[in-house]
Amino acid sequence: MKRRWLIRAAVAALALAALGAGVMFSGVIPVTASSGHWDITKWVLHTAMRRSVATHSMGITPPDDLDDEALVLLGAGHYEHGCRYCHGAVGTRMPRVPGAMTPVPPWLPPRIEGLDDAELFYVVKHGVKFTGMPAWPAQERDDEVWALVAFLRRVPEMSQAEYRRLTQASSESAEAPPVVSRMCARCHGADGLSRGVDGAAPRLAGQRVEYLDAALLAYAEGHRPSGMMEPLAAELFEEDRRLIARWYASRPGMPAAPALPGASIERGAAIAERGVPEERVAACSECHGPSPTDRADSYPILSGQWAGYLRDQLQLFARGVRGGAPQAELMEAVDPHRLSPEEIRDVASYYARSGG
């Protein structure tokens, strides 16, 4: 009796499998976006997604500075260029073309309120399968993902005026070439002085043409990881890339940034001018100045740059993920065993305090 029952069960299972295969290979199930999902399909997919995000985001610790204005500005600039097309902007209707996708990209304010910071980070970094939501293009750059999270966290309570303030370039961009106004000014400013206070986006004014052009090319070719800059740089024609580099190089140089107390500046000056011989760290000024001797155009000017940005770049070099043009390999000497966090802070503050 038991054997007969097992045989019947096996036959039924085979019949169901054959039926399923027949339905699949017959092509009768529509896969069109216009047909949408069945309600049960929506529920299964959404429930699976929510539970997966909740589980896999466990252990992610948000940084303490998610309310930092510079971080929010950086995230806002990326949202306007990279996310608005699907998710819309505060004070506007949802975009029509993405509205014809299946599933439809969600209006974010209510969704954001249902996610904690770690869950929001996980979704932004890794994307969601079967939805059109991509993963972050540079998985090494958690710092960029957190910038977008910082902006998104404000969206549910954001007014249209606040959204425009955070995402739109200043009126000065009207004087800049169209490609600068469209692609760059939102984060770097049309004047190249950035929009934040110790902004997360670097100052570009007065920087060398060859360095700026090489940096954009490195982003475009994937040699310098950045989920924010790679997509933008990849859109540029060579002549646009050169035009951007020439525009920012022609802007008045970088003014002095606010400095840390004198002792930090003095320690930073010693590292910049003499290096750290006992750790085999060369003097920064040999390539980056300040110096009465002209340096190679492929090396960036650091004087007047934001201290926070310089610190972040040194930390990326230390982690081995910064990348860049071929000359960036010279920075491999900067690793966690050769410059301490305090030394990185001091040398960054030293360069920030002197204008370009």
Strongest mean pLDDT among 121-130, 250-259, 324-333, 338-347: 121-130
The pLDDT tens digits of the residues spanning 21-41 come to 887 788 777 889 998 888 998
Helix H or strand E encompassing 7? helix 2-26
Instruction: Please list, in sequence order, all residues whose beta carbon lies within 8 angstroms of the beta carbon of residue 316, skipping any fewer than 6 positions away.
Output: 322
> Quick one: pLDDT band at residue 302, thresholds 50, 70, 90?
very high
Q: What is the CA radius of gyration of the chain?
A: 25
> Quick one: pLDDT band at residue 84, thresholds 50, 70, 90?
very high
Percent of the chain with pLDDT over 90: 59
Residue 257: per-residue pLDDT: 57
Q: Which amino acid is at 159?
A: S
Answer whether residue 255 shows pLDDT above 70: no
Percent of the chain with pLDDT over 70: 92
Residue 100: per-residue pLDDT: 94
> Quick one: pLDDT band at residue 173, thresholds 50, 70, 90?
low
DSSP states of 89-138 as a string? Answer: -TTSPPPTTGGGSSSPPPPHHHHHHTS-HHHHHHHHHH-BTTTTBPPPS-
Architecture of domain 63-166: Orthogonal Bundle (1.10)
Provide the CATH topology of domain 262-352: Cytochrome Bc1 Complex; Chain D, domain 2 (1.10.760)
Answer whether residue 174 shows pLDDT above 70: no
CA distance 190 to 172: 6
Instruction: Please list, in sequence order, all residues whose beta carbon lies within 8 angstroms of the beta carbon of residue 271, skipping any fewer than 6 positions away.
Output: 281, 283, 284, 339, 343, 346, 347, 350
> Quick one: pLDDT band at residue 330, thresholds 50, 70, 90?
confident
Superfamily of domain 170-250: Cytochrome c-like domain (1.10.760.10)
Answer whether residue 336 shows pLDDT above 60: no
Residue 335: per-residue pLDDT: 62
The pLDDT tens digits of the residues spanning 48-57 come to 999 999 999 9
> Quick one: pLDDT band at residue 337, thresholds 50, 70, 90?
low
Query: Do the beta carbons of residue 333 and residue 232 sit within 8 Å?
Result: no
Bigger pLDDT: 256 vs 299: 299
Residue 147: per-residue pLDDT: 96
Outline which parts of the chain fall under CATH 1.10.760.10: 63-166, 170-250, 262-352
Residue 319: per-residue pLDDT: 85
